[in-house]
């Protein structure tokens, strides 16, 4: 039976407490045709030692340790250059793949049409101790998502924002990643920009199942959005770049309206967190979007 190769690229930055769980979750998959590539993004903690100890037990792991920290987008692209898989998984070193995650993903994506560039599913939030707290997407008593619009995820929905994407549970094709020239390395974070560029011309499909445990930590990148710190400045800078490119990419009034909704959310968060300069910069982009709408 043909089993396509899956490349899991695990990015680690100061995750010595969690990286062993992340790596073992890949090693212990029920699906076996996997190559694991670990990128140590210049961690300053004991991550390197932990990873090297794991490699002694699993010598097939490809390990690349960066001397200088780079954006997550660059780190993943570096890992991609070392990969050979038909399918790709972007794994943060504090998250965990459920044992049958890749088996379910491959079975699902292999049934899709050739214009499907990415699939995603549901995830459990877990705390620092690995305790499950809540689903990423709310579910009914049968563990199926209540938001059925997820089955029709498209460019317009992603533009509008809200809880419409779960990047940690995604698998994407090498073919489409190459067509889109990978992640945009000028950005601080990767998922929103890639999903928007992909969904403009290709399809995204939702697998209604739990695939991953997503760790929720106070210092996680997802928790830095709009906070008053250096991370939020870099995130907001990337958001503004994504919004500007979306204005040029949009074709319809509905798309401009959806983008305005997302811009307004960023403006609101800047106001609440007293990020006045960022608020002004987002306001200028809001005006550009309104002009396009008119």
As a whole number, mean pLDDT of residues 109-128 equals: 97
pLDDT of residue 228: 59
Question: In degrees to the nearest 10, what's the CA dihedral of 145, 148, 152, 157?
Answer: -90
| Dihedral of alpha carbons 211, 94, 180, 87, sign | negative
Compute the mean pLDDT over every residue in the chain, rounded to the nearest whole number: 94
Name the band, by pLDDT with cuts 50, 70 and 90, for residue 211: very high
- What pLDDT, on a 0 to 100 scale, did the predictor assign at position 75? 97
Q: Which position has the higher pLDDT, 217 or 136?
A: 136
- How confident is residue 219, by pLDDT bands cut at 50, 70 and 90? low
Calculate the alpha carbon distances from 37 to 54, 59, 168 in Å.
Answer: 13, 11, 16
Give the confidence band of 223 by pLDDT, cuts at 50, 70, 90: very low
Q: What is the pLDDT of residues 241-280, one digit of tens each?
A: 999 999 999 999 999 999 999 999 999 999 999 999 999 9
CA-CA distance, 294 to 244, in Å (whole number)? 17
pLDDT category of residue 226 using cuts at 50, 70 and 90:
very low
% the chain with pLDDT above 70: 96
pLDDT for the residue numbered 229: 63
Strands (E), the chain: 6-12, 34-40, 62-65, 87-92, 96-97, 116-126, 132-135, 171-173, 203-215
Contact 23, 61 (CB under 8 A): yes
Q: How far apart are CA 156 and CA 86, in angstroms?
A: 27
d(CA 65, CA 135): 33
Banded model confidence at residue 2, pLDDT cuts 50, 70, 90: confident
Q: How far apart are alpha carbons 117 and 53 in whole angstroms?
A: 35
What pLDDT was estimated at residue 259? 97
Dist. CA 15–CA 41, nearest whole Å: 10
Contact by Cβ (8 Å): 212, 95:
yes
Model confidence at 292: pLDDT above 50: yes
Q: Specify the pLDDT at position 220.
A: 54
Q: If you search the block for the tokens 């005006």, which residue do you land on?
A: 287
Distances in Å between the alpha carbon of 220 and those of 98, 214, 259?
Answer: 20, 11, 25
Domains within the chain, CATH numbers bracketed: 6-222 (3.90.550.10), 224-293 (no CATH)
**Percent of the chain residues past pLDDT 90, beyond the cut:** 91
Interval 13-57: pLDDT, tens: 999 999 999 999 999 999 999 999 999 999 999 999 999 999 999
- Cβ atoms of residues 289 and 260 within 8 Å: yes
pTM: 0.93
């Amino acid at each position: 039976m043909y089993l396509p190769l899956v490349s899991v690229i695990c990015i680690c930055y100061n995750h010595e407490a969690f990286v062993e769980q992340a790596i073992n979750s890949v090693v212990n998959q029920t699906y076996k045709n996997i190559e694991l590539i670990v990128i140590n993004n210049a961690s300053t903690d004991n991550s390197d030692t932990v990873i090297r100890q794991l490699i002694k037990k699993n010598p097939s792991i490809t390990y690349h340790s960066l001397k200088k920290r780079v954006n997550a987008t660059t780190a993943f692209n570096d890992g991609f250059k070392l990969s050979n898989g038909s399918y790709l998984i972007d794994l943060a070193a504090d998250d965990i793949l459920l044992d049958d995650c890749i088996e379910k993903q491959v079975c699902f994506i292999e049934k899709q049409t050739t214009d499907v560039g990415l699939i995603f599913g549901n995830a459990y939030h877990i705390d620092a101790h690995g305790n499950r707290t809540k689903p990423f997407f709310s579910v009914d008593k049968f563990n199926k998502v209540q938001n059925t619009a997820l089955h029709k995820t498209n460019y317009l929905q992603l533009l509008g924002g809200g809880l419409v994407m779960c990047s940690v549970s995604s698998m994407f094709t090498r073919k489409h990643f190459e067509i889109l020239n990978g992640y945009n390395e000028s950005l601080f974070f990767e998922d929103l920009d890639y999903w928007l560029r992909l969904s403009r011309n290709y399809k995204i499909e939702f697998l209604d199942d739990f695939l991953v445990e997503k760790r929720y930590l106070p210092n996680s990148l997802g928790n830095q959005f709009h906070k008053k710190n250096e991370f939020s400045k870099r995130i907001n800078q990337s958001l503004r770049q994504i919004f500007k490119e979306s204005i040029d990419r949009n074709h319809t009034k509905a798309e401009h309206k959806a983008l305005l909704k997302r811009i307004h959310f960023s403006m609101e968060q800047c106001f609440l967190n007293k990020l006045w300069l960022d608020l002004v910069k987002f306001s200028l982009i809001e005006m550009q979007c309104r002009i396009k709408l008119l």
